[in-house]
Amino acid sequence: MLLEIYQRLLDSFGSQEWWPMEGGFEPREWEVCLGAILTQNTNWKNVERALENLKKAGKISPMNILKAGKGELEGLVRPSGYYKQKAVKLRDFTDFVLGFGGFRQFSKKVSREALLEVRGIGPETADSILLYALGRSCFVVDAYTRRVFSRLGLLKDGLDYEGIRRFFEEKLPKDINLYKEYHALIVELGKRLCRNKPLCRECPLDKQCKFRD
């Protein structure tokens, strides 16, 4: 069922090619880590502006972030909203990464459990970093995932983040590229059609959806 839904979404929306890592950060994966934190409670356009500010200011590596002044970092990430809190989160996360001796060691050794202990890193942010930056097979769950699959009648009432994550990981092949594309397609469906007031007639999943009934 989940693979059938994936194929329908892919046929309808095409490959989303998320987290392209356009360059300018060292290492390239650092862009994904920063973006995963900055995208909390905002849209990606605002995150892109903040990332561009960081690049222009030369704050392109973990060490650069840690050496940035408090006010400077707040100003650079201001477009992403909640800039004071996010500046603190970026510094705390960077300090955590460098505690491994650098990004490469962090990417090899960090566990999901340890990542979740960092202030400001919740399950969705942690799994985004693990999947898109570190290439770990962690399915990312967000509000769109809960909305879409609850309306399809595939999620039990009251299922928490971990329960939904396990639902996908148990029923899908352990394929990192599949996880990335599936998550991106769910977000596209949620933004475009499966809104608070859904556009069911245009939805590629309309015949499978319990909500439409």
| Helix 44-56 × helix 30-38 angle, to 10° | 130
Q: For tokens 């919740």, name the residue.
A: 122
Count how many domains the chain has. Answer: 2
Q: Please list the helix, strand and coil fractions of the chain in percent, rounded to the nearest 5, in that order.
A: 60, 0, 40
Tokens representing 24 are: 């300018």
Q: Tens-of-pLDDT digits for all 213 residues of the chain? A: 999 999 999 999 999 988 767 779 999 999 999 999 999 999 999 999 999 999 999 999 999 999 999 999 999 999 999 999 999 999 999 999 999 999 999 999 999 999 999 999 999 999 999 999 999 999 999 999 999 999 999 998 889 999 999 999 999 999 999 999 999 999 999 999 999 999 988 999 988 888 775
Token output for 77: 């990430």
- In the chain, the amino acid numbered 66 is L
| Predicted pLDDT of residue 157 | 86
Q: Do both 46 and 112 map to the same domain?
A: yes
> In this structure, are residues 50 and 75 in contact, taking their beta carbons and an 8 Å threshold?
no
How much is the pLDDT for 79? 98
159 domain residue, yes or no: yes
Give the tokens for residue 125: 């942010």
Q: What's the residue count for the chain?
A: 213
pTM: 0.94
Q: Domain containing 163 — which CATH number? A: 1.10.1670.10
Task: Examine residue 50 and state whether it is found in any structural domain, yes or no.
Answer: yes
The domain containing residue 96 runs over which residues? Answer: 30-133
- Assess if residue 213 is contained within a domain: no
Q: Any long-range contacts for 122-128 (C-beta under 8 Å, 24+ apart)?
A: 123/161, 123/162, 123/165, 124/161, 125/36, 125/37, 125/40, 127/165, 128/32, 128/36
Distance CA 18, CA 20 (A): 6
Residue 95 CA to its chain's centroid (Å): 21
Pair 162, 126 in one domain: no
